[in-house]
Structure 1
């Protein structure tokens, strides 16, 4: 029987383990959840603090202090994306060569340093350089986590773990808003620093210790793990349970043969097209239209402005858990993605109409994080599609993410210009089109995967 038949049946929605998992396997899974998922979640939370803080800083005094009145915010967002795109493949080449408990924490420390340096920014060029370097060193984190998840968990287990990990995104964005609100209310002017500058300092104080902790906690992969928390017997069991489910675990350095197989095969390009639709269907969550709309109302102080903007990512925590758990246990992966972006489409269409009540706009903006809620379903599914060749999986996951994210280096310049805030007619139209394409492509991927299995 295929893995889908064996592991995706025979359990209730509330079952964390599959009935076929032995006592030893359940003990191992629980330990992996603590070591891998918990650390990935907390570090992703810090990553999104450091990624999204530029939006809160811009709306909380940076634009006025540094005389920004044009498209500077979208330029900062794009420069981050450029660094994130350019760093992914070079760092991915190190995945089989450097233990993950060294590589990932080292990158964490480096992006934390450049997050800190933003507090001293005096102009446009300096912030552009810092945003590029933060993006560069954050670039490998997301594919590295999914690479590690795919090395420890079966296809039926990844979506829920990925969902918990992905809550770090929405919680990080929410926390950035709350931290900026507190900085604006209580630290503005302390030691001669504006409140938005204090936020970068606080974010770095949170980020840097996580890099040090990760060297000790993060277990890497079963084939290259030096964890003090896992015995040799547990590593062997981890490899065996995945091999029974059809996964391979023979890690080899990237080669010309592998490159030809990946780039001339159909899987990469199907996944790239699918991922491009995903990245661009989420721009309504990442380009800060909600925050800029609240600022345009001109009736909220900085602290209140940031507190209100936290409602969208706060609801995003529910969306992520609902969609990711639902994908594993209720709706299936294609159904979960369809539900997530149908809800996103409702909000986008309301904002596209625009001439609606303020309450309707609040509702619409607060649907936006349903767009990103299915990310771990998509990448977990890609892991499952590529499970038969671990080297192909590692390269494809990084390349698909890098190519797809690279489109967001230029699409915001066309569709999400800061000077067009808060209406964004082109932006909402583009996002709606991408969401429809994403839903359609999801069912094509579903058909191709079923045929493969």
Structure 2
């Protein structure tokens, strides 16, 4: 079979959904799993981002004037959410391999729905800040938990497409938040004495809480701690066999020696760096709305309606980046392409003194900055596929470090009082998006060298074998061999 970086197939140019080595029985199972898991994940991520982005829409939809937010309150509220999300992830560094995921995610979803509802009653900055912290806290585990679930059921070349469909919930949530706020402002403002932006939080909570409850029945959990409601014993047996034959480890519990092993791994810290660059490569999510408002041409409802254009385009960007990664050129070049487009966006806004259509182009293309998320995290899932303990810890840890960096970079780079031209912010995002391209290639180069037989001659335990996507996979040891650390399989995707 030819070597390539996507779905295993005889000819690299042949685009296909299933691998050549998938049996009819496996194809039937994959289809069933796709129809159960991916639509639900998509809906939950849509709701999550509907709840998360409604702050920006509420701000330009009347909250600013009603609560007297004329300073940097917006960016400070965004930061409170980030602080809650970062701190809320810390306990989950250790529990993913112990707790059933089909209980963790729905339980947190219901709680964040309640926290979303509470925001409708805020009458001060302090009160709103407390609610934003709670929303972040209860949303904390969701992102790494979903990637952990995807990596527990799918092979490496299958994750990006599923993750891409799931991740379109982000731009769709941003898009519908604008529409919900516009509708609430036009139709509900003043009803029962509540402003339109307050009604938006009530509507979001009404949607969020029931969807969270449904998750107890829909989410399949993981193979070692499955939800048996929809996937029967035969389904789980097929899933286990197809992963076993490709060397995926399916069971394990995080122990102290795993953490020591992770911290001594060089590629782990490169992954951390790349994830930090990814999280900081995009412009502030409220920048476009603030620019539109600064033009003084549109009322609040129109601003929110126009604000739906970038996330609508982001849906296409996300699908293109993730499907092309799995089906065409692999994660490294998918990251390169998406980051290149994002770099162009940042460059235009950095220059600033350009024709207005160029600014519209730039703002409408900022979705490339988040389009590659499932490509990157799917890659991490695949790199660590032989160790659920290390994989669970790594997915949470890199998210904590990367997301925590945005708590202070947002305040320093995108203070609200500098709107609409965030000179420092656009300079910062430009440097991050450029560095992300370099970082992705450095990570891939490092993994290639680690699996090179010439580079591992001194390591008796090194074993290079064919991987499930047609590239080579090497098993390497990280850290001091005298400590007998468990070797970690590394997969390079070129």
What band does the TM-score fall into relative to the shorter chain?
over 0.9
Among 286, 297, 300, the residue aligned to 1:299: 297
Shift of 1:7: 4.6
Comparing 259-268 with 127-136, greater Cα deviation is found at 259-268
Distance in 2, matches of 1:269 and 1:40, equals 29
* CA offsets 1:32-83 (integer angstroms, 9 cap, x no match): 1122211111000000011111010011100000001010000011111111
Distance in 2, matches of 1:301 and 1:143, equals 38
Shift of 1:360: 1.2
Which residue of structure 1 lines up, in the alignment, with residue 406 of structure 2?
A: 408
Which residue of structure 1 lines up, in the alignment, with residue 490 of structure 2?
A: none
Which residue of structure 2 lines up, in the alignment, with residue 363 of structure 1?
A: 361
Superposition TM-score, scaled by structure 1 size: 0.97
* CA offsets 1:237-292 (integer angstroms, 9 cap, x no match): 1112112222111221x21111111112223211100101000002x1x4310010
Given that 1:87 and 1:137 are in contact with CA atoms closer than 8 Å, whether structure 2 keeps it comes out as yes
Comparing 205-214 with 331-340, greater Cα deviation is found at 331-340
SS at match of 2:91: helix
Which residue of structure 1 lines up, in the alignment, with residue 63 of structure 2?
A: 62
Comparing 90-99 with 137-146, greater Cα deviation is found at 90-99
Shift of 1:2: 11
Given that 1:107 and 1:137 are in contact with CA atoms closer than 8 Å, whether structure 2 keeps it comes out as yes
After superposition, the Cα gap between the structure-2 partners of 1:156 and 1:320, relative to the gap in structure 1 and judged at 3 Å, is: same
Which residue of structure 2 lines up, in the alignment, with residue 80 of structure 1?
A: 81
Give 1 or 2: higher helix fraction.
1
Shift of 1:4: 6.2
Which residue of structure 1 lines up, in the alignment, with residue 222 of structure 2?
A: 221
Superposition TM-score, scaled by structure 2 size: 0.89
1:270 aligned onto 2:259? no
Distance in 2, matches of 1:141 and 1:117, equals 20
Given that 2:168 and 2:318 are in contact with CA atoms closer than 8 Å, whether structure 1 keeps it comes out as yes
Q: How many pairs were matched up? A: 450
Shift of 1:16: 1.5
Where do residues 13-412 of structure 1 align in structure 2 (5 Å cutoff)?
A: 14-252=15-253, 254-282=254-282, 284=283, 286-412=284-410
Shift of 1:428: 0.2
Shift of 1:92: 3.8
Comparing 295-304 with 419-428, greater Cα deviation is found at 295-304
Shift of 1:317: 0.2
Given that 1:113 and 1:208 are in contact with CA atoms closer than 8 Å, whether structure 2 keeps it comes out as yes
Shift of 1:201: 0.5
Shift of 1:358: 1.5
Rg comparison, structure with higher value? 2
Shift of 1:9: 3.4
SS at match of 2:95: coil
Comparing 267-276 with 149-158, greater Cα deviation is found at 267-276
1:431 aligned onto 2:444? no
After superposition, the Cα gap between the structure-2 partners of 1:335 and 1:197, relative to the gap in structure 1 and judged at 3 Å, is: same
Distance in 1, matches of 2:357 and 2:131, equals 37
Shift of 1:402: 0.7
Given that 1:334 and 1:443 are in contact with CA atoms closer than 8 Å, whether structure 2 keeps it comes out as yes
Given that 1:74 and 1:287 are in contact with CA atoms closer than 8 Å, whether structure 2 keeps it comes out as no
Comparing 207-216 with 7-16, greater Cα deviation is found at 7-16
After superposition, the Cα gap between the structure-2 partners of 1:401 and 1:6, relative to the gap in structure 1 and judged at 3 Å, is: closer
Shift of 1:93: 2.3
Shift of 1:392: 0.7
CA RMSD in angstroms comes to: 1.6
Given that 2:220 and 2:226 are in contact with CA atoms closer than 8 Å, whether structure 1 keeps it comes out as yes
Shift of 1:299: 1.1
Given that 1:385 and 1:449 are in contact with CA atoms closer than 8 Å, whether structure 2 keeps it comes out as no
Distance in 2, matches of 1:81 and 1:160, equals 27
Which consecutive residues of structure 2, in runs of 5 or more, have no partner in the other structure?
452-472, 474-494
Distance in 2, matches of 1:273 and 1:13, equals 34
Distance in 1, matches of 2:5 and 2:299, equals 55
Shift of 1:448: 2.4
Distance in 2, matches of 1:197 and 1:251, equals 46
Given that 2:15 and 2:328 are in contact with CA atoms closer than 8 Å, whether structure 1 keeps it comes out as no
Which residue of structure 2 lines up, in the alignment, with residue 10 of structure 1?
A: 10
* CA offsets 1:120-155 (integer angstroms, 9 cap, x no match): 000000011001110011010010000000000000
Which consecutive residues of structure 1, in runs of 5 or more, have no partner in the other structure?
none
Given that 1:217 and 1:227 are in contact with CA atoms closer than 8 Å, whether structure 2 keeps it comes out as no
Distance in 2, matches of 1:258 and 1:2, equals 35
Shift of 1:85: 0.7
Distance in 1, matches of 2:16 and 2:405, equals 39
Which residue of structure 1 lines up, in the alignment, with residue 457 of structure 2?
A: none
